Structure 1
Amino acid sequence: MQIGIMFIVCYYVSWLLYFQLFQRPLFILYNRRLSSRAVTPKDVWDMSRFGFKTDIIVCAYLTSLPLLAGIAQAFIPYVFLPKFMVCYNVAAAIVIGLVTVSDTALYSFWQHKIDASVLAYLKTLKWAVASVSGLYIAGAALALITLSAVIYLWLEWGCDITMGDAPYVAHGIAEKIITAITGTALAGTAVVLIRGLRRRPNNPSLSYYSNNQFFNHAALNPVYAFIYSLGVNDKIEGAFHYTDSEECGKVFHELYPASRGASEKLLNTDRPNILFIIWESLSARFVEELGGQKDVTPNINRLSHEGLFFTRVDSNSFRTDRGLVALLSGYLAQPTTSVIRMTNKLPNLPAFPMKFKDLGYETTAVHGGDLMVFHMSEYFLTIGHDRIVSEPDLPSSMQRGKWGVPDGDVLEWVYDDIQQKQKEGKHWYTTMLTLSSHEDWKVPYNRIPDDEIANSFAYVDDAFGRFVDKLKGTPAWDNLLIVVTGDHGCNAGEPLSHDKYSHIPLLMLGGAVKSPRRIDTIMSQSDIASTILGQLDIPHDEFIFSRDVMSESYRYPFSYHTFINGFMFRDATGFTVVDNVTDTAIANPDKEREHKGRIILQYLYEDLAKR
C-alpha cells in the first residue's frame, strides 16, 4: 500500500488522542460538580482507561472512510486523496466538535449522554434553544467554532506528516496485491473493533465500571453513545425480555390487580368539573411540606392543608412527553423510547379526558407554548380534548417569553374560561400544562433574586395561589376539583438521585373535596388517573398500569420510575435503582425489588408492542 499503514495508523491514533486528552477531560472539568463526590486523579485515570474501550470503536468508524479512500487511491491514477482528506477532515471536525460541545453542555441539564432523543428537539428550533439565554447560545457557538478549528488543524497536521510526498498510486501487480491484502486486513480489523469478538455486539456497558453514574457517563464516548442510540432507541419487540410471558403476566397482575371493592370516598360529588394542572418540573425539592426548600412554594404549602395532599408520589419518568402519557393515559413511561411519538399507537392508549368527554363534558387542553412539539397537540386531541389552546390562540396583548405566554397570564385566561363555562351551565374538564418553571428560568417575578431556579417555581406558585383564592369567591368553586402535580422532577444541574428526583407532590382541592387530608401512601404518577376515576365511580379497567390507591384492592403500595435505560422500584422496604445498560443494580441492590421491576418492564414493552 503506497501511502502505507503508517498513514492509517497515525490517523487512527490522532482521533484516539483527541478523545483521551481533550474531549473527556473537557467533559469532566465542565461537569465535575455533578459528581456525587470529588473527582480524584485516580478517578480520571479510571474514566480514561474504561473510556478507551468505546474510544477505539469510534476511532475505527472515523478512520473507515480514509482507509477505503486510501485503498481506492492505490488503484486510481488520478490523485484525489489529499483533497479528499481536507474535505473529510473539515466535515469530521464539525460533526465531532458539535457532538462534543452538545454532550458536554447538555449533560448539566439532562444528566445522561447525548443520544438520538436530541433529534426530536431539532425539529422545532424554537424549543431547542428556548431553555438557554442568547449569551449561552453565543458561547456554545464560539466553543463549537473554536473546537472544530482545533480538531481540523490537529488532523491536517497528522496527515501532512504521514502522507508527505509519498507516492499515492500502486504500480505493478505485486504492489496492487499487497495493497489489496493490507487494506482488507485493516478493514477487517476495523470491523472487529466496531463489532467486537463476543457473541453479542458491543454496547455502552463496555465503558461502565462504577456505581457513580457520572464516572460511567464521563467514560462513555459521546459519539458512540449517540450512534448506539440510533439503532436501539425505538426497539420494542422482545426488548427487556426477562422471563417467559406466562410467568411475567402472572406476577404483573399480582402487582397491578384489577380494581375491586369500594374506594374510600374523598369527594362529595361524582361529577365535579375538573381542572388538571400539570406543573412543569414540580418536584418535592421545592415543597417545604415534603421536606423541600423553604419558602419557595408557600401557596402549595398553605393549600396542602385545605385539600387532599398525597405525599409519597413518584413520577414515572424524566421528561414531559413521558409524564403526560403517565398522567393522562395512566401508562408507564418507557426508558428507551416515547410512545407519544408513535402516532399509530396513540388511539390505542387509555384516555383519561375521553372518560369525561363520553359523559358529555366539554374538554379543553391549555398550554402557553407550542403544542406541536413532541406530537403533543395530536396526543391531546386523540385522548379526548375537544379543543386545544396554545400560544397562537391566546390574546396578543399577553407578554411572551422564550417558551411562550407565562403561566400567570395563562391562569388568568383559564379563570375567565371557567367563569364563562359556569355561566353557560356546562360540565367541563380542562388540562393545563404549565411552562414557566423550566430552563432558562426567566420569569416576570423576582422574589428570590439569588436563586433563579427557585424563583421560577415561586412565580408559578404565586400565580397559582392568587388563581385559587380568586376562584374561591365564585360559584364555580363549589363543584370544582383542581388536581395539581408535576410532569416529572427537577434536577436543575445538580447530582441526580433517582430517589429524590422522582418525588413529586400531588394536591387535590376545591369545593368537591369533602375535607382536608394528608395521604402518605406510596404510589406512582400513573396511578393518579385510576384514583380519580375510582372516586367518581367511572370504570377504568383499560388503565392496566394505573391503580386506584384508595380502593380495597390496593394492598401492596409501590412506585415505579424510569430514566434513560433504567428504572427505580420503591416499596415500603426501600428502593432499588437498576441500570439496563450494565444490567445491574446501581443503588440499594435487592433481588425481590429488582425482580418485580424487571417484570413490569418486560410486561410494559410486550403491551406496547401489541398496541
Structure 2
Amino acid sequence: MNKIFPSRFALLKAYISLFLILSFIIRLSFLIWNFSELDKSGFTIGKTFLIGFLFDVATISFFTIPYLIYLLLFPKHFYGSIIDKIITYFSFSLGVLILFFSFFGEFTFWEEFQRRYNFIAVDYLIYTYEVVENINESYPLPILISAMLALVLISIVLVYKLGYFGKVFTSETNFTSKLIATIPWFIIVAISTLFITNKQADFSNNRYNNELAKAGIYSFFAAFRNNELPYNEFYKIIPKEAAYKSVKASMLDSKNTFINPNKNAIYRTIVNSDSISKAIKPNVIFICIESLSANFLKEFGNTNNITPTIDSLENNSLFFKNLFATGTRTVRGMEAITLSIPPTAGRSIVKRKENQGLFTIGEVFKQKGYERNFFYGGDGYFDNMNTFFGGNGFNIVDRGRGFLLDKSISTTRTNIEDAEVTFENAWGVCDMDLYNKVIKEADKAHDSSKPFFDFVMTTSNHKPYTYPTGKIDIPSGTGRNGAVKYTDYAIAQFIKKAKQKPWFHNTVFVIMSDHCASSAGRWELDVKNYHIPAIIFNLPNQQPKKIDKLASQIDVFPTLFATFNWDYTSNLFGQNILTMLPNEERAFIGNYRKLGYLKDKKVLILDEQKNANFYSWNPSDNSLKLVPTDKKFENKAISFYEVADDLYRNNGLKIKE
C-alpha cells in the first residue's frame, strides 16, 4: 500500500476514498429510492455495484492527474514550503467542493429524470440563468449551499486531524517512489479513454440497474462528447435505396405524387381537395403544453379532476386518444411537430447548427399566405428555440432578457413587457400572461386581415410548479397536480376571452403536449410514458369525434391540413390520421440514444450499438417481452430512422426553391 500511496500521496488517498464513499452512498440511495423498479436478483445487484465501482475508479483517475503531475514534478526540497501548502490546501478544498457539488446535483437530477447526468445536464450548463433560478425556486438553495460548504469544511478538518496534511508536508518520498505511484493512475486513464465507454454500463435489460451502474460525472463527460449520433455510423442500417422505397411506399396513395420519384427524397405533392369540399383558411392557434401526460386526463383514469377544461374540450373536438410523443424533451416535441419527422439520434435538430431554412409546417402555412408566430413565456434563447423558429420563418414573441437573435435571421421579435406580466418564475411568465399576449397579437393580425398561425409554448407545468395564487384550489409550488390544474385553468380563461373576439369563429385551436411528465421506467423505452393527448377544437363543419387510431405527434398537422382540404407540396413524414388504414397505424418513440417503432402492440428498439431488439408490449402493465425478431417489421423501423437522418445530413429537409 505504501508503494501505491507513499506519504507524499496521503491526501490523494484521502480524496479517492472520499469520492468512492460518496459514490457508494449515491448508488445505494438510488437503489433504495427505486427498489421496486430494479432487477433485485443477488447476482444482478452485485454486478451493478461491481460495474459501478469500476466506473468510479475510472472517473476518479481523471481527477487525480493534475495533482499527480504536481506531486511528481514538485521538488522534494520544497515540501512543506508556503507555496506547497497554498497549492495543496487550495487543490484539496476545490476538489472536495466539486465532489459535494456533484453529490447534491446527482440527487436533484435523479429526482427530475431518474437518470445519471446525460446530455440534458450538458445543455443546462449553457442556460445558467433558467437553471439556477429553477433550482433556487425548487429547492432551499441557501440551505443546500450552506450544507455543502459545511461538509467541505468538515472534510478538511477531519483529514487534517487524521494527519494527512502533516504526512504530505513532512514526507521524504523521492522521485522514483512518486513515479511508481503515479504510473498506475495514468494507465487507468489511458484504458478509460481508449477502451471504456459509458454504454458499457448498460449490461441489463432493466434501465434502472444500468443507471445505477454508471458514475454521474463519467456520464456527464460521455454526454459532452457524444451529443450527436450520425445514424449510419452507430445504428443498424439497410441499403439506402431500400430504405427510401419502404418509406415512400408508406406515404403513397392515389392523391400523392412524388416530385422526384426516382430520387432518394420524399418531396411530394399532397392533394386533399375534391369537387365537393372547398379549401378553408381559418386562423390556427397551436398550444403546445409542457409535460401534459395522457394519464392526467379523466379519459385515461385520472380521478383528481385536474384537467376539467381539457376533459370538456375532448367531447367537443377531434380528440386523438392513442397518440404518442416522439421524445422526452420540449425540443424533441418541437422537432416532431414542426418538421413532422421521426426522432433523430443525439440532440434534437432544434438545437443543432444546421437547422434553418428547413421545410416545416410553417412553410405549408406560408404557401397559404399565413403570418407565422412563435410565442414563448421565457427567453427563447433557451434551447436554441428562437434561432430555430426565427430561422424557419416565424416571428418571435418572448420574454427576452437581452440575448439577440442570430443577425443572419430576418424576422421580427416582440417582447413581453413588464407591464404585461402578473406572475413570473425561472421559466418565464405564467400561462395566463402568455395567452393574454397571444390575444393581443391576434387582435393586431385580425385588423390586418391576414390569417395567422401561432405556435404557443407554455411553461407553467414545469418545476418549481409555481403559478399565481388564488386561481385554483391547490397552493402554488406544492407539486405537479397543481401545475397541471393551473395549466388547464389558464386554457379555460384563454378560450373564454377568445370567444369574445371577432376572430374566434374563424380560428381553430390545436392543443397537444410536447412530451410526458416522466419518461423514465425500467424498460429501454417505457411506451406508456410517451402517451399524450391531442385535441383539434372549433374546426368548421366537423363533428366531435374520439379517434382511437395509433398515431404519432408528427401526424397531427398533416391531419389538420387535410381537414382544411389543402393541397400543398410537402417534405413531411406525417400522415392523415383520419384516413389511416389499420395496417398503416404506427408511432415513433425515443430518447437521444434509443429509437423505437410501435405498431400492433409490438415495438422495435434500435440503439447505438447496432442492436435491434423486438418486443411485445402489454399496455395493461406497460411491460415489454423480448420476442423473436420480425425481419419485415425491423426493416420498416430502420427505414424510417435511416431516411430521416439521411435527409437531414444531406439537406433533404431544406425548402425546395
Q: TM class by shorter-chain length?
A: 0.7 to 0.9
Could you tell me how far 1:482 is from its partner in structure 2? 0.8
Aligned to 2:534, what secondary structure does the other structure show? Answer: strand
Q: 1:589 aligns with which of 626, 633, 655?
A: 626
Could you tell me how far 1:311 is from its partner in structure 2? 1.0
CA change 1:179–1:218 in 2 (3 A) is: closer
Decide whether the 8 Å contact of 1:569 with 1:575 is kept in 2. yes
Q: Does 1:273 align with 2:283?
A: yes
- Matches of 1:378 and 1:51, distance apart in 2: 40
Counterparts of 1:139-178 in structure 2, within 5 Å, are 139-149=143-153, 152=156, 159-160=164-165, 163=168, 165-170=170-175
Q: 2:361 aligns with which of 343, 346, 352?
A: 352
CA change 1:556–1:376 in 2 (3 A) is: same
Q: Which residue of 2 aligns with 1:92?
A: 95
Aligned to 2:55, what secondary structure does the other structure show? Answer: helix
CA change 1:235–1:91 in 2 (3 A) is: farther
Aligned to 2:362, what secondary structure does the other structure show? Answer: helix
Q: Does 1:609 align with 2:620?
A: no
Decide whether the 8 Å contact of 2:550 with 2:586 is kept in 1. yes
Could you tell me how far 1:532 is from its partner in structure 2? 2.5
- Matches of 2:552 and 2:640, distance apart in 1: 13
CA change 1:138–1:353 in 2 (3 A) is: same
- Matches of 1:582 and 1:246, distance apart in 2: 16
- Matches of 2:92 and 2:235, distance apart in 1: 42
Could you tell me how far 1:396 is from its partner in structure 2? 1.1
Greater shift in the superposed pair: 507-516 or 389-398? 389-398
Tell me the alpha carbon deviations over residues 495-520 of structure 1, each in whole angstroms, 9 at most, x when there is no partner: 89722221111100114251111111
| One-letter amino acid of the counterpart of residue 189, structure 1 | I
Could you tell me how far 1:120 is from its partner in structure 2? 2.8
Q: 1:288 aligns with which of 298, 303, 311?
A: 298
- Matches of 2:339 and 2:151, distance apart in 1: 44
Q: Which residue of 2 aligns with 1:563?
A: 591
Decide whether the 8 Å contact of 2:48 with 2:212 is kept in 1. yes
Could you tell me how far 1:116 is from its partner in structure 2? 4.2
Aligned to 2:424, what secondary structure does the other structure show? Answer: coil
In structure 1, stretches of 5+ residues that fail to align are none
Alpha carbon RMSD of aligned pairs, Å?
3.6
Counterparts of 1:197-346 in structure 2, within 5 Å, are 201-236=195-230, 238-246=232-240, 249-250=243-244, 253=247, 256-258=250-252, 261=255, 269-343=279-353, 345-346=354-355
Q: Which residue of 2 aligns with 1:464?
A: 491
- Matches of 2:59 and 2:32, distance apart in 1: 24
- Matches of 2:163 and 2:533, distance apart in 1: 56
Decide whether the 8 Å contact of 1:36 with 1:212 is kept in 2. no
Decide whether the 8 Å contact of 2:513 with 2:533 is kept in 1. yes
Decide whether the 8 Å contact of 2:247 with 2:639 is kept in 1. no
Q: Does 1:541 align with 2:544?
A: no
Counterparts of 1:26-65 in structure 2, within 5 Å, are 26-29=26-29, 32-37=32-37, 42=42, 45-65=46-66
Aligned to 2:6, what secondary structure does the other structure show? Answer: helix
Q: Does 1:514 align with 2:542?
A: yes
Aligned to 1:588, what secondary structure does the other structure show? Answer: strand
Could you tell me how far 1:220 is from its partner in structure 2? 0.6
Decide whether the 8 Å contact of 2:37 with 2:208 is kept in 1. no
Decide whether the 8 Å contact of 1:36 with 1:495 is kept in 2. no
Could you tell me how far 1:34 is from its partner in structure 2? 4.0
CA change 1:152–1:193 in 2 (3 A) is: farther
Decide whether the 8 Å contact of 2:22 with 2:103 is kept in 1. no
TM-score by length of 2: 0.80
| One-letter amino acid of the counterpart of residue 350, structure 1 | F
Decide whether the 8 Å contact of 1:108 with 1:493 is kept in 2. no
Aligned to 2:280, what secondary structure does the other structure show? Answer: coil
| One-letter amino acid of the counterpart of residue 487, structure 1 | D
- Matches of 1:572 and 1:479, distance apart in 2: 38
CA change 1:138–1:597 in 2 (3 A) is: farther
Aligned to 1:346, what secondary structure does the other structure show? Answer: coil
| One-letter amino acid of the counterpart of residue 58, structure 1 | T
- Matches of 2:464 and 2:439, distance apart in 1: 27
Aligned to 2:372, what secondary structure does the other structure show? Answer: strand
Tell me the alpha carbon deviations over residues 163-182 of structure 1, each in whole angstroms, 9 at most, x when there is no partner: 46332444xxxx5xx866x3
Aligned to 1:364, what secondary structure does the other structure show? Answer: strand
Greater shift in the superposed pair: 575-584 or 549-558? 575-584
Tell me the alpha carbon deviations over residues 260-307 of structure 1, each in whole angstroms, 9 at most, x when there is no partner: 536599997531111111111111021112334441111111111111
Greater shift in the superposed pair: 563-572 or 23-32? 23-32
Could you tell me how far 1:13 is from its partner in structure 2? 5.7
Percent identity between the aligned chains? Answer: 17
Q: Which residue of 2 aligns with 1:127?
A: 130
Aligned to 2:419, what secondary structure does the other structure show? Answer: coil
Could you tell me how far 1:309 is from its partner in structure 2? 0.6
- Matches of 1:478 and 1:515, distance apart in 2: 16
Tell me the alpha carbon deviations over residues 535-577 of structure 1, each in whole angstroms, 9 at most, x when there is no partner: 342424312x323333568842111111242233211133355
Q: Does 1:480 align with 2:507?
A: yes
Tell me the alpha carbon deviations over residues 360-406 of structure 1, each in whole angstroms, 9 at most, x when there is no partner: 22222222222111121122212222343446424514312213221
Counterparts of 1:418-433 in structure 2, within 5 Å, are 418-433=442-457
CA change 1:191–1:390 in 2 (3 A) is: closer
| One-letter amino acid of the counterpart of residue 360, structure 1 | G
Decide whether the 8 Å contact of 1:259 with 1:548 is kept in 2. no
Q: Which residue of 2 aligns with 1:102?
A: 105
Aligned to 2:577, what secondary structure does the other structure show? Answer: coil
Decide whether the 8 Å contact of 2:323 with 2:533 is kept in 1. yes
Decide whether the 8 Å contact of 1:205 with 1:582 is kept in 2. no
Decide whether the 8 Å contact of 1:533 with 1:540 is kept in 2. no
Decide whether the 8 Å contact of 1:313 with 1:506 is kept in 2. yes
Could you tell me how far 1:439 is from its partner in structure 2? 0.7
- Matches of 1:116 and 1:192, distance apart in 2: 24
| One-letter amino acid of the counterpart of residue 432, structure 1 | V
Decide whether the 8 Å contact of 1:12 with 1:60 is kept in 2. no
Aligned to 2:319, what secondary structure does the other structure show? Answer: strand
TM-score by length of 1: 0.86
- Matches of 1:158 and 1:513, distance apart in 2: 83
Q: Does 1:363 align with 2:387?
A: no
In structure 2, stretches of 5+ residues that fail to align are 256-270, 401-414, 616-623, 652-657
Could you tell me how far 1:329 is from its partner in structure 2? 1.7
Q: When the two structures are aligned, how many residues end up with a matched partner?
A: 597
| One-letter amino acid of the counterpart of residue 222, structure 1 | G
Greater shift in the superposed pair: 473-482 or 41-50? 41-50
Q: Which residue of 1 aligns with 2:72?
A: 71
Decide whether the 8 Å contact of 2:246 with 2:639 is kept in 1. yes
Could you tell me how far 1:341 is from its partner in structure 2? 2.2
- Matches of 2:316 and 2:500, distance apart in 1: 15
- Matches of 1:24 and 1:598, distance apart in 2: 39
Greater shift in the superposed pair: 306-315 or 598-607? 598-607
| One-letter amino acid of the counterpart of residue 626, structure 2 | P
Decide whether the 8 Å contact of 1:477 with 1:511 is kept in 2. no
Aligned to 2:91, what secondary structure does the other structure show? Answer: helix
Q: Does 1:401 align with 2:420?
A: no
CA change 1:209–1:153 in 2 (3 A) is: farther
Greater shift in the superposed pair: 377-386 or 110-119? 110-119
Q: Which residue of 2 aligns with 1:415?
A: 439
CA change 1:370–1:386 in 2 (3 A) is: closer
- Matches of 2:40 and 2:163, distance apart in 1: 32
CA change 1:398–1:357 in 2 (3 A) is: same
Q: Which residue of 2 aligns with 1:491?
A: 518
- Matches of 2:487 and 2:10, distance apart in 1: 56
